[in-house]
Amino acid sequence: MEKRYFGTDGIRGRVGTHPINAEFMLKLGWAAGRVLGQGGKVLIGKDTRISGYMFESALQAGLSAAGVDVRLLGPMPTPAIAYLTRTLHAQAGIVISASHNPYYDNGIKFFSAQGTKLADEIELAIEAEIEQPMQTVDSSLLGKAERVEDAAGRYIEFCKSTIPAVMEFKGMKIVVDCAHGATYHVAPDVFDEMGADVIRIGVEPNGLNINTECGATHPASLQKAVLDHKADLGIALDGDGDRLIMVDHTGEVVDGDELLYIIARSRQESGSPPSVVVGTLMSNLGLEQALKKIGIELKRAAVGDRYVLEMLQQGGWVLGGESSGHIICLDRTSTGDGIVAALQVLAAMNKSGRTLHELKKGMTKYPQRMINVKLTRSFDLEKYKTVQDAVQDAQAQLNGKGRVLLRSSGTEPVVRVMVEGADAHQVDSLAKHLADVVTHALN
């Protein structure tokens, strides 16, 4: 069956537009309680966008009406909610967040009792329940709500536990950009407690400034801060804390592909090399080649961290991620976690005695250009001969030394046009031409 509401990363959209409104969230909370939480408790956490207050209340009311107890976490990173769902033995965890999107968007993500994303059949069951008339349980069975006061402290201690206890970062100056998001009261404290000198930016959320010209999707402010403070490195997280981008001491951005390479190579040098690293269709060809040189295979999943996670679980592997900065270390936690991934990179620096700039040198990225073409209607790429002919022509011009990828985004109304190859000028030219062809086909 095709899902009506759930996409590749939960339910997401513009606040006030169905289904991202209070009425739907009330019904969603009730439906989720019927499917997931009866006889147990469900956690609710959120990022810092202003609409989170409204949706938190609506979900809480719906869950209570279904007879489910609620534990409120307040603003907490998405991976923290996954962790706390496991350790507090909840039936499920709910995240109110639109991740890296602007404040006027919001969304809902669910975690299972194991701290993993819900299986498709569970999401379909919730959607089926949404279509049923809402009925409130007897008053004696209504769910109760409590706030978890020590949620941040629990998660900070967990993050620190993912690297050796004897390791510390004294003498290291780090800029941490929290994107005015859910990590603002967590991430800086993690690195501070590990002994680093921490410069905090993006830690003043007002409900409207989440991800605005800051964080993992806008690293320019972090680059400037690293250079201004003569820091050893910078760490940028997105609004809900599951995405990581870093900046080395020279001001160069270190993306998710490079971070994956650094972590994989460090584990190999420590005597526990991964046989396989899972990337996506968007992972840079340079990552594939760099891993191959050190005896590690790159396997590509569909774009989206949930598909990376699925492939990791199916293959019994532990390390994967996306170039956008979703890094999954399944031997440390159950989902993508920006803070945990950053700690693995810092541990690699500590063990090797090398700078971040030196560690990334083992991988040379191929020039890659991606252009987003806005969608105004449903668009099946396979049905447009002009588009398919243009793709084949671009692939022929790359002559086996690059890749072309066209795909519809799972989180935004756009078609992503990506070209990758050895020649930056050729890559840029081909990407622009393909974007023009797609735009013409749409019109």
Bridge partners of residue 248, in order along the sequence: 233
Asked whether 33 and 143 are in contact (CB, 8 A), the reply is yes
Rounded distance, CA 363 to CA 360, Å?
Answer: 6
Choosing from 64, 97, 99, 283, the catalytic residue is 99
Please list, in sequence order, all residues whose beta carbon lies within 8 angstroms of the beta carbon of residue 399, skipping any fewer than 6 positions away.
Answer: none
Question: Which residue matches tokens 């799972």?
Answer: 410
Q: Give catalytic status of residue 99 as yes or no.
A: yes
Handedness of CA 194, 196, 197, 202 (dihedral sign): negative
Q: CA neighbours within 13 Å on the CB side: how many for 200?
A: 15
- Asked whether the beta carbons of 346 and 169 are under 8 A apart, the reply is yes
Distances (CA, A) of 175 to 9, 27, 197, 320: 29, 42, 8, 25
What is the spatial distance between Cα 221 and Cα 206, in angstroms, rounded to a whole number? 18
Active site members = 99
